[in-house]
Amino acid sequence: MLSQLNPKTRGRFIVFEGIDGSGKSTQARLLAEYLQFTNKQVYLTREPTTRPIGVLIRQALSGDFEVAESTMAAMFLADRLDHIQNDVDGILKALGQGIDVITDRYFWSSFAYHSLTLDMEWVVSIHKKVMELCPPDITIYLDLEVANSLQRIDNRNEATEIFENEETLTKVSNNYKEAFSKYGKGMNIKFINANQKIDTIQQEIRKALI
C-alpha cells in the first residue's frame, strides 16, 4: 500500500488522463525523458497493461470479441490491481524502490469510459481498493476539444477502437469532468490545455510538477 511506503524515499506516482487523441502517450514519454535527464529513475507504463488481462482487454476494444460492459469494467479493474501489485513490474514495487512511475491512464479512465453505459457510482465503488492501495500523487488531465481529438485519431491511419467517435468522445469528456468534480476532492488534479503545440504542453506539465 502506498501509504506504507517511506514518503522521503519513495518515487512519485504520476497519472496521465484524457480522451483518445489527447496526446497522453506522447506527453508521458516526453516527461519520462525529461525526468531521466534530471537523473531520476523512471518507470513508464500504461493501461491496459501488456500482461495477460490487459491483452484480453485490448482484443475486446479492437472488436475481436464482445463482452458485457460490466464484464469489461471488471476486466479493467483486475488488470489495474495486477498493475499495482504484481511482483515483476508492479507500480508499488517501483515506487518503493524510489522510482518515479508515469502511467498512461488509470482509474479515472474507467470512471469516464465505463460510465457511458454503467452507473458511475458503481464503477467508483468497485475501485475503492485501487484508490486505497495506490492513489496518484498528481493526475495530469490533457483537456482537448473533441474535434481536435478526431483529427488526430484520423491522422494516425490506424484501426479505430470502439470509443473513437464524436458522440462517444463528447460524453467521455463530460464524464471525466463530472468524475473530477464528484470524486476528486483532495486529489492533486491539473488541467492542461492539450489544444496547444506539443512543446508548450510539455512545458506546462513540467511546471505543474513543481
The phi, psi pair for 177, rounded to 5°, reads -70, -35
Which among 156, 165, 183 is positioned nearest to 19, based on CA atoms? 165
Average pLDDT over residues 75-90: 97
Task: State mean pLDDT over 55-80.
Answer: 94
Tell me the pLDDT of the chain averaged across its residues. Answer: 93
Single-letter residue type at 5: L
Q: Read off the pLDDT of each residue in 176-185 and give the average, rounded to a whole number.
A: 97
All domains of the chain in start order, with CATH: 2-209 (3.40.50.300)
Distance CA 5, CA 207 (A): 26
pLDDT at 161 over 70: no
The Cβ-side half-sphere exposure at 113, using a 13 Å CA radius, reads 23
Q: Within a 10 A sphere around the Cβ of 122, how many other Cβ atoms?
A: 13
Confidence of residue 141 (pLDDT cuts 50, 70, 90): very high
Q: Is the pLDDT of residue 157 over 80?
A: no
Q: Do residues 101 and 45 touch, judged by C-beta distance below 8 A?
A: yes
Residue 159 per-residue DSSP state = P
62 has a pLDDT exceeding 90: no
Over range 48-60, report the average pLDDT: 96
Confidence of residue 149 (pLDDT cuts 50, 70, 90): confident
